[in-house]
Amino acid sequence: MFSTALQPGQGSQSPAPALSGIWVAVAAITMSFAAFTSSLIIRQASDDWRHLVLPGILYLNTVIILASSVTLEIARKCSSDLAATRSWLYFTLGLGLAFVAGQAFAWHQLRVQGLYLASSPNSSFFYVLTVLHALHVIGGLIGLAYTIRRAANATVWRVATMEATAVYWHFLAALWVYLLLVLRTRL
């Protein structure tokens, strides 16, 4: 799915260290969220579980993060034109910031309803899952900023940087869709 660039003097294709590192991070994050999901399902069986109404902004956030994945893919496709790549990466960065702002608004909406981290088991899971995901998105935003900086200079531009960023960002988008389904069906 993602190509890797050959380093000078290399006879075969091998993944760049950054891409290998991203795959290790993706595996670790996946296991963490799987553990939280398992805990949520087990905890939901208790008598004090009340379902909560999800803030509507979460559905808009889903569109935003999926759109950001599309804009990042467009940036990848035009990686030979660094000016166009940077423009699309800035657009992706803006959408990522909008997603985090939308999450903050969702947390505000729950606080207005009197639901805090310790209010109930289901609100606790909501906050833990969405805050952890938002922190990973912030990490992805830092990666995007680094990629934009690298794209500013053709002498330091590496396709592997874009590939690693794309793998992580697309993973975050897929993880959000998964989380929204879990939140919708379980909380």
Query: How would you write the pLDDT of the chain (187 residues) with one tens digit per residue?
Result: 444 443 444 444 556 788 889 999 999 999 999 999 999 999 988 877 888 889 999 999 999 999 999 999 999 998 788 899 999 999 999 999 999 999 999 999 999 999 999 888 889 999 999 999 999 999 999 999 999 998 887 777 778 889 999 999 999 999 999 999 999 988 7
At 150 the pLDDT is 87
At 22 the pLDDT is 94
Predicted TM-score of the model (pTM)? 0.87
d(CA 50, CA 123): 9
At 49 the pLDDT is 80
